[in-house]
Structure 1
Amino acid sequence: MAGQQIDLATLPVQQLSQVKKQLDDEVQHLTNSYQNLRTAQQKFRDCNISIQNGVANSVKDKPLLVPLTSSLYAPGKLADEEHVLVDIGTGFYVEKTTGDAQKFYNGKIEELGKSIKDLENIVNGKANNLRMVEEVLRQRMLTGQQGGQAAAGAS
């Protein structure tokens, strides 16, 4: 069914219901993916802000908390304000200058932005398809009810 056009008016109600369910599932999955991309993009923005605010001369000799896990922090001091460790994925870290790290994160933010735009267009298209199927299904149900009422009135 993917990639082809189908005249919804020719489909039986049961098949329309199946198409609606499939589109519901697809829209839900794509919406979750969209949210995950937005979350990842925000994390990269947060990394950039951390580099701008956290790796500055003003915090050089001040004590700070180093995150070991999402809920465990250890006291520490900033050893070098010119270099940072950057998580490049799958647990690999690379030492970069703060400028290179910001370029890396800006590139990731831009890349995710493009993916988000593309996914947004796909979600909108699927949502429009879903609305069309729902409308045809609603019309069919109304005609079915009207036909049933006319048959009941004739007897």
Structure 2
Amino acid sequence: MSKTSAAPEPGAVDITTLSVPQLRSLQTRLNTELEHLTTSHAKLRTAQSKFRECIRSINDGVIKGATGNAEEKSEILVPLTNSLYVKGHLADREKVIVDVGTGFYVEKSTAKATEFYNGKVDELQTNLRDLEKVLQAKSTNLRVIEDVLRQKLLAGEATAEPSSSGGGGGA
């Protein structure tokens, strides 16, 4: 009769029936999951930022560079690693090489490359929204577990020996 919801989900557990060690274990597991999901969220944001940078590079370096002197504007910096760049020259302003993942590169027109990267940015945005919902739900679950754990500990302290809180002086 004291149920808080009308129909519990199948497989759901009433956390108020769990012991303190079980609640602490669940709290630890949720904290670990939240850390992992938060790290994944940051990595997705970084990937999205890199795809946006690719779009900017195509727009600023290839397309806008075509309006000036071809010999002067065809020089670019080519990334060899995240921190190492070498000078290069554009052979063709209409086509670029696109990293499509797992070490594969495809030649695409600048318009198709921009479309490809915009699709990646949009896909990551959808994934980020979904992940944010999961993060929010896990955070809510963690708060509920912490509240129940706090209540159990307070109830346990009320029934515990009062002499244990006697302070203890000494230097």
TM-score, length-scaled by structure 2: 0.81
Counterpart-to-counterpart distance in 1, 2:77 and 2:122:
30
Per the alignment, residue 169 of structure 2 pairs with none
> Out of 94, 110, 114, which is 2:126 matched to?
114
The alpha carbon displacement at 1:51 in A equals 0.4
The alpha carbon displacement at 1:99 in A equals 0.3
> Out of 61, 77, 95, which is 2:71 matched to?
61
Please give the residue correspondences for 1:59-138 in structure 2 after superposition, counting only pairs within 5 Å.
60-62=70-72, 63-138=75-150
Aligned length: 151
> Out of 128, 151, 155, which is 1:143 matched to?
155
Amino acid at match of 1:25: T
Structure with bigger gyration radius: 2
Amino acid at match of 2:29: Q
**Unmatched 5+ stretches in structure 2:** 1-9, 166-171
The alpha carbon displacement at 1:152 in A equals 7.2
Does the 8 A contact of 1:41 with 1:112 survive in 2? yes
TM-score, length-scaled by structure 1: 0.89
> Out of 31, 37, 57, which is 1:30 matched to?
37
The alpha carbon displacement at 1:58 in A equals 4.2
Counterpart-to-counterpart distance in 2, 1:149 and 1:24:
31
Please give the residue correspondences for 1:9-48 in structure 2 after superposition, counting only pairs within 5 Å.
9-48=16-55
TM-align CA RMSD: 1.9
Identity in percent: 48
Query: What is the DSSP-based 3-state SS (H/G/I as helix, E as strand, rest coil) of the residue aligned with 1:74?
Result: strand
